[in-house]
Structure 1
């Protein structure tokens, strides 16, 4: 497979009265849409989109509430749920991509991809998951924990709903040294945590509404689980997992992905939570090979 980078184009698309930011590259081949994780943006695919576009029409979208996309008031204007984001993805594929699409996601982007593919199965022909969020703080999963571990997250979530406390917490979190330390946890190789990456993740935090979206999502403990969605998939899927992920344990991931709809589970040793950014030299060839099986419509 070629690894020649194709230039990317920045664009906007209006969805339900809100501006959505996305990037695209490539003019021929299968259509691929990449979906970022929590707090990320299209920049998290900067090492993948132009390379994949050498063989396909590749897009990366910013979910409403994240990146350069609008951040409308939670509740009053929009509900920040996986169902909402899936509807955004479905409408984007209908209106912008038009042809049946392969979805790729990282972390919570995988849940969005799965929900979209289950909601409108005729629109999607494949799903690639990179360190899929296991949603370990979901209400249903907390119910199975010992009582002394069960209440910590709900108490913190309740405290953060107090506006003054929540905003202060977000301000402390949205600092360069804090973002760097979080990334150093998520990435196995510290040299992958560059100033460019920190800039990409910090820029949207200054947007109006960013704190409200962040706090709303931290309180989101319901909705679909990957184990609910995976058996419903009507298209093939691949799972790629950085084995050094401290947040989504690979043993749980391997067990979760042991379903008929997942064709292949690929372990990446010594790679963390965001393999597409930390180890693109491993991820890009895997995705290119997997995408090559799909016929162009």
Structure 2
């Protein structure tokens, strides 16, 4: 295991070997429940920099870079060949999270995800129920470009999304598109749409998201996921989720409408659905002063409930 100076945090970044690939993570805290934080698409463990120190006051906190993102390896897309290539699917990320909980954390954990990270942690819990105590989801991805969602979309999206996916499969076009996207000005514009409070879109945040985009293989990962229209929908996983869940949702999310997200509150596993007024797609970064206390209380209540159940 190696330790290297982090670019955006006082917490050391460590490396774990998974399937022959280096995976980066950070950890802080020496007591309390174990908590694993999982970022969204195009992000990294640094997206939790405003949450880790606060949660670590009472918990042992781990933030993980999914394979293909952040400081983790970005191997060639394809059927799993350890040390060479992986499929960028929720089954892959779910397995990575589950193995991390078993090999690094060593005990069942509270899983916290943002955006596609919510689906990844649910996949991990569904496939490996023994690793999850409970799940918190922040603005869960609705997967609106999924094949099974297409019929519910406006006709322009029904036609346009598959067409764009096919065009981007052309290597030259895909690479050119990614190079245009992976520029500071473009990233800032995207963030200003995703975040309701423009003041929280800082140079630090732009740099945080830009750095991994320069890695070899980053474009291939991006294009592989943008062409991924299969796999589970969040409701598929919620229906069979083996542990309790809590959902937080920024009301100003332009990508994942809260009106659709509220439907998830109907599942019996969901104990609370908490709207966050005036907040966009990434509440943990845009409004940590709202998110951190909710997560702290949730972990405490769930931990006490588990202790009471053990005593009884």
Structure 2: unaligned runs, 5 residues or longer: 1-8, 80-84, 308-312
Aligned 8 A contact 1:72 1:78 in 2: yes
1:216 aligns with 2:224: yes
Q: Does 1:23 align with 2:31?
A: no
Q: Find the counterpart in structure 2 of residue 139 from structure 1.
A: 147
Mapped pair 1:44 → 2:47: yes
| Deviation, structure 1 residue 151 | 1.4
In the alignment, is the contact (CA less than 8 A) between 1:30 and 1:294 conserved in 2? Answer: no
1:133-282 superposed matches below 5 A: 133-145=141-153, 147-282=155-290
* In 2, Cα distance between equivalents of 1:198 and 1:149: 28
Q: Is the Cα–Cα contact under 8 Å of residues 264 and 270 in structure 2 kept in the other structure?
A: no
Relative to structure 1, the CA distance from residue 7 to residue 31 in structure 2 (aligned partners, 3 Å threshold; closer, same or farther) is farther
Q: Shift of the alpha carbon at 1:148? A: 4.5
Partner of 1:72: 75
Is the 8 Å Cα contact of residues 7 and 50 (structure 1) preserved in structure 2?
no
- State the partner residue of 1:58: 61
2:123 pairs, out of 99, 115, 118, with 115
User: What is the CA-CA distance between 1:123 and the residue it aligns to?
Assistant: 1.3
Residue 33 of structure 1 corresponds to 36
Relative to the length of structure 1, the TM-score reads: 0.96
**Partner-residue secondary structure (3-state), 2:206:** helix
The root-mean-square deviation of aligned C-alpha atoms, in Å, is 1.4
User: Following TM superposition, by how much is the alpha carbon of 1:231 offset from its aligned partner in structure 2, in angstroms?
Assistant: 1.5
Secondary structure of the equivalent of 1:265? Answer: strand
TM-superposed deviation, 1:94: 0.4
> Structure 1 runs of 4+ off > 6 angstroms?
none
Match of 2:6 in 1: none
Taking structure 2 as the reference length, the TM-score comes to 0.91
Bigger Cα displacement from structure 2, 74-83 vs 102-111: 74-83
Q: CA deviation at 1:7?
A: 6.1
